Amino acid sequence: MAKRKQNSSNSAIFCSLLLAGVALLILPHKITRNLNSFFIELFRPVIGIDIKLPGKPSGGSLHSSGDYVSKSEYDHLWAAYQNLYADLLEAQKRLEEATKFRSSMPKTGDMFVMADIIKREQGQKILINRGSIDGVEKGQYAFAEGAIIGKVTDISSSWARVTLITNNTLQVPVHIVRPGREEYIRANMVGNGLDACKIPYISAELDVKPGDYVYASPEKKYLETPRIAGVVKTVVEDMEDPLIWDITVEPSADFEKLKKVAVIVVAPAQEVSQK
């Protein structure tokens, strides 16, 4: 008898659960979703698990935190990233070039402005893409391949003209130096209008030989220390006056291959020696 009652109870429970399941199945989704939420909120403290319902993100969900974006916004962000990466590569390239220039310059207080050559002009002149807004001024020296190449002679806010040392109108004060010899010879160098320079009016009594180095002399406001400009190529008697030398100087830099230059800016606090 007791066994029969137990079977009846089990059957009743089964039928009740079956009817409840069928009822839940046919009820509208809105009602069952609320019921689902009720049970989750009821038993959350017991099971200790943060359950997230589909379509109802919690305050800390990824979607609400902005980690999910639309396709159009993703494409926009990806394009911006690519542009920033390209800028980074260009900055690294410029840093390497600036480091190369700095390593080839004496360790002084001088600063320099990097510039690209944007045009080559007749008469041994070049245009660069830096001007007065970048700190470039008339009279400043231009530097490339470890050597002085010319002077800034014209300027605007955004560009400057550099007259090369081979120009026959540009005169540069120089020192003629020989390794191992303490004394140097002061002179003025001027371009021959082609691919070399001349040092005129040097007495034939002075000891000048091919291979001697020619440095641009320190100049107040524009050059703190001597900088190499070229090497003496030939020394012969002047055809018009045998008492002076006819000296030809070969520039240290190859002007035809230049793409970038640095304009030397002497720090304002520096006092230039005139020795």
Model pLDDT, residue 39: 66
Lowest mean pLDDT among 40-44, 58-62, 214-218, 257-261: 58-62
Q: What whole-number distance in Å separates Cα of residue 74 and Cα of residue 39? A: 38
Q: Which residues contact 77 (CB under 8 A, 6 or more apart)?
A: 69
CA dihedral 86→92→93→98, nearest 10 degrees, is 150
- pLDDT one-digit tens code per residue, 215-227: 999 888 888 888 9
Backbone torsions φ then ψ of 218, nearest 5 degrees: -55, 140
pLDDT at 176 > cutoff 90: yes
At residue 272, the pLDDT reads: 47
User: What is the token pair recorded at 27?
Assistant: 């009820």
Report percent pLDDT > 90 for the chain. Answer: 44
Is the pLDDT at 275 greater than 50, yes or no?
no
**pLDDT value for 5:** 53
pLDDT at 177 over 50: yes
Q: Name the residue with tokens 């990233």.
A: 81
CA angle 39, 45, 47 (to 5 degrees): 80
What is the reported pLDDT for 170?
96
Q: H or E element: which one contains 260?
A: strand 260-265
Contact (Cβ atoms closer than 8 angstroms) between residue 142 and residue 260: no
Per-residue pLDDT of 12-57, as tens digits, reads 787 787 777 777 677 676 666 666 676 667 666 655 555 555 554 4
Q: Which of 64-68, 76-80, 84-88, 128-132 has the lowest mean pLDDT?
A: 64-68
Do 154 and 138 form a contact (C-beta atoms < 8 A)?
Answer: yes
User: Which is nearest to 54 in space by CA: 33, 68, 39, 70?
Assistant: 33
- Top mean pLDDT of 5-14, 109-118, 182-191 is at 182-191
pLDDT attached to residue 84? 79
pLDDT grade for 132, boundaries at 50, 70 and 90: very high
Residue given tokens 């916004």 in the structure block? 73
Which position has the higher pLDDT, 265 or 273? 265
Q: Give the separation between CA 38 and CA 10, rounded to whole angstroms.
A: 27
pLDDT at 148 over 70: yes
